[in-house]
Chains A and B, each alone.
Chain A
């Protein structure tokens, strides 16, 4: 459902926005040449034929040819995908793990010095635009201290279908700054969310009842409250990964990281529609996958979904 809407939007982008030919060719190109390119790209066919072809091609992973770079979009994306995914995955792990831990800590210890500090920092984190963090890090670690690289991926090892930066020292060093930068905003967001969730759950009747039964505080916090508190975190984790991909656009620009976001921002500037629509379809696909996984996880974690309540008995 979501996929269809997105496919249609991307297709409309493809079709109705501007005249791609103008963007592709210089002023001096003759009309005949223009028509030839138009014919080659199939832009003269009826709209529904184009849409079916677009969807069909998209399913095969074919999104046409970049106006600007004159190369197949699928090739460009495949080339850039590993860089973005590595960055996003590392960031997601940092954001989720530290965000949840700190959130639980501040949720349980509502009034402590450390909690106040964490909260103040998290609020600052929400107020810091990603690119400002990036610039700050570059200035501090690359310009002043000179210990970490400020751009690129370092050396990569090509595994044939995948080029990874995890296997070289320079690759690992290069990913530190961008991934921390990228995760910081999301992390602070998760801290605040988990904290609010924990605080709300600790006020419920069943926690009070557990206390009244003499269950010790540790079990109340980590067994009773945390499990309930993590249910909404799963949803957030899902959205979080998608948002990270989107925000990687900024990080990649700041650190000149050769990923898809970098590609996309260039596409926006030069109105390179095939890349824009392919990127959109890709993002939507990732979201749909994540939602699917989240639904499955819910099924296993929340008994209220897994076990249907029986007819009222008694």
Chain B
């Protein structure tokens, strides 16, 4: 190799990950879709045609308008309106913001918790590791959706009803986050065990580097790959879990509907033929989860050299 210094950008361009990214149409397409969805959801005030939560924009007269391309459709409601005359497209975009916020926060919460516990358990070993791992075993015994339901149920018991609607979104983040952390703990512990036995960790110990520095400066960057893969797939799971809980009526309150809430509301109208009210939020949700999973799948294949 010649002596030229590589800038960060050229390093990225040179890397195998970049190469495999531009060679994978699915990875590109799914990232583009995700970027669009993220953009539209977070800047929803500027993107959405209506503000569905502004009472002045509601008109019960225009309730149950089908999508614009059908006979009775109206041009201003591209995807039709719901039972209260709210524009479907706008409610979906507002709803997806709620879903994304809950999904991201929950996964971040479980990632921080899980990685910290897994990393320290793997590094220190002994009784501490045993306790942490037993805890994940017990936790894994309870399926995540059930765990989330239980947390939610307990929260309903503890928090008074008036406060509950306000707190609902935090309870939900906590409930989903607490049900996902064992995955992160397991993966990061397993990866830490591998890294811990590598000689560079021994070398650092012999030099006299402290345990905390070894864990967070040396080991953590080396275990981030599997954690990121789990995190991406976990994000899809968290979004699905959120919508499921909301669908079951124990998630976010109907005043700030997420995608799941929208589908539940729409479900009531399914038999009377107003299919679009439940159909479009569902499609949007699946598109979102599918894109994240596609990206996660590609990441797993690329970042895990074992299968290549």
User: Chain B interface secondary structure, helix, strand, loop or mixed?
Assistant: helix
User: Which residues of chain A are near B297, meaning CB under 8 Å?
Assistant: 123
Instruction: Give the contacts of B274-308 with A (CB-CB under 8 A).
Output: 275, 278, 282, 285-286, 289-290, 292-294, 297, 306-307
Shortest CB distance B45–A (Å): 27
Taking a contact as CB atoms under 8 Å apart, the answer to whether A132 and B285 are in contact is yes
| B137 at interface, CB cutoff 8 A | yes
Shortest CB distance B48–A (Å): 23
Taking a contact as CB atoms under 8 Å apart, the answer to whether B293 and A17 are in contact is no
Taking a contact as CB atoms under 8 Å apart, the answer to whether A249 and B146 are in contact is yes
Taking a contact as CB atoms under 8 Å apart, the answer to whether B141 and A284 are in contact is yes
| B interface footprint on A1-28 (CB within 8 Å = 1, 0 otherwise) | 1100110000001000110000000000
- Between A246, A264, A283, the greatest number of chain B beta carbons within 10 A of the residue's beta carbon is seen for A246
Q: Which single member of A1, A13, A129, A269 contacts B249 (CB below 8 Å)? A: A269
Taking a contact as CB atoms under 8 Å apart, the answer to whether A271 and B157 are in contact is yes
A154 to B150 alpha-carbon distance, docked (Å): 30
| A126 at interface, CB cutoff 8 A | yes
A94 to B293 alpha-carbon distance, docked (Å): 23
Instruction: Give the contacts of B116-169 with A (CB-CB under 8 A).
Output: 134, 137-138, 140-146, 149-150, 152-154, 156-158
A196 to B134 alpha-carbon distance, docked (Å): 27
Given contacts A2-B138, A123-B290, contact A250 B157 (CB under 8 A): no
Taking a contact as CB atoms under 8 Å apart, the answer to whether B142 and A127 are in contact is no
A284 to B138 alpha-carbon distance, docked (Å): 9
User: Which residues of chain B are near A243, meaning CB under 8 Å?
Assistant: 143
User: Which residues of chain B are near A129, meaning CB under 8 Å?
Assistant: 240, 243-244, 247, 260, 285-286, 289
Q: Which A residue sits closest to B237, measured CB to CB?
A: A126
A210 to B249 alpha-carbon distance, docked (Å): 56
User: Which residues of chain B are near A284, meaning CB under 8 Å?
Assistant: 141-142
Taking a contact as CB atoms under 8 Å apart, the answer to whether A138 and B248 are in contact is no
| B263 at interface, CB cutoff 8 A | yes
Q: Which A residue sits closest to B292, measured CB to CB?
A: A127
| A95 at interface, CB cutoff 8 A | no
Q: Which B residue sits closest to A123, measured CB to CB?
A: B293
User: Which residues of chain A are near B260, meaning CB under 8 Å?
Assistant: 129, 131
| Range for the number of chain A residues in contact with chain B | 35 or more
Q: Which single member of A128, A199, A271 contacts B153 (CB below 8 Å)? A: A271
| B interface footprint on A259-280 (CB within 8 Å = 1, 0 otherwise) | 0000011011101010010001
Report the tally of A-B residue pairs with Cβ distances under 8 A: 119
User: Which residues of chain A are near B293, meaning CB under 8 Å?
Assistant: 123, 126-127
User: Which residues of chain B are near A106, meaning CB under 8 Å?
Assistant: none
| B236 at interface, CB cutoff 8 A | yes
Q: Which B residue sits closest to A150, measured CB to CB?
A: B271
Taking a contact as CB atoms under 8 Å apart, the answer to whether B153 and A124 are in contact is no
Shortest CB distance A141–B (Å): 13
User: Which residues of chain B are near A247, meaning CB under 8 Å?
Assistant: 143, 145
Taking a contact as CB atoms under 8 Å apart, the answer to whether A128 and B307 are in contact is no
Taking a contact as CB atoms under 8 Å apart, the answer to whether B154 and A13 are in contact is yes
User: Which residues of chain A are near B244, meaning CB under 8 Å?
Assistant: 129-131, 250
Q: Which B residue sits closest to A144, measured CB to CB?
A: B275
Shortest CB distance B203–A (Å): 30
Taking a contact as CB atoms under 8 Å apart, the answer to whether B145 and A246 are in contact is yes
Given contacts A129-B240, A131-B263, A143-B270, contact A17 B141 (CB under 8 A): no
User: Which residues of chain A are near B150, meaning CB under 8 Å?
Assistant: 13, 268, 276, 280
Shortest CB distance B124–A (Å): 22
- Between B145, B247, B285, the greatest number of chain A beta carbons within 10 A of the residue's beta carbon is seen for B247
A1 to B154 alpha-carbon distance, docked (Å): 23
In the complex, 24 of the A-B residue pairs with CB atoms within 8 angstroms, ordered by the A residue number, are A6-B141, A13-B154, A17-B158, A18-B158, A123-B293, A123-B297, A126-B293, A129-B247, A129-B260, A131-B244, A132-B282, A132-B286, A196-B307, A199-B307, A242-B141, A249-B145, A249-B146, A250-B145, A268-B152, A268-B153, A273-B157, A276-B150, A280-B150, A283-B146
Instruction: Identify the A interface with B (CB < 8 A).
Output: 1-2, 5-6, 13, 17-18, 123-124, 126-132, 135-136, 138-139, 143, 196, 199-200, 239, 242-243, 245-247, 249-250, 253, 264-265, 267-269, 271, 273, 276, 280, 283-284, 287
Question: Can you name 8 extra interface pairs (CB under 8 A) apart from A131-B263, A271-B153, A271-B157?
Answer: A6-B141, A17-B158, A126-B289, A135-B267, A246-B142, A265-B149, A268-B156, A283-B141
Instruction: Identify the B interface with A (CB < 8 A).
Output: 134, 137-138, 140-146, 149-150, 152-154, 156-158, 236, 240, 243-244, 247-250, 260, 263, 267, 270-271, 275, 278, 282, 285-286, 289-290, 292-294, 297, 306-307
- The 10 closest A-B CB pairs, nearest first, are A246-B143, A18-B157, A17-B157, A127-B289, A127-B290, A268-B153, A246-B146, A129-B240, A287-B141, A243-B143
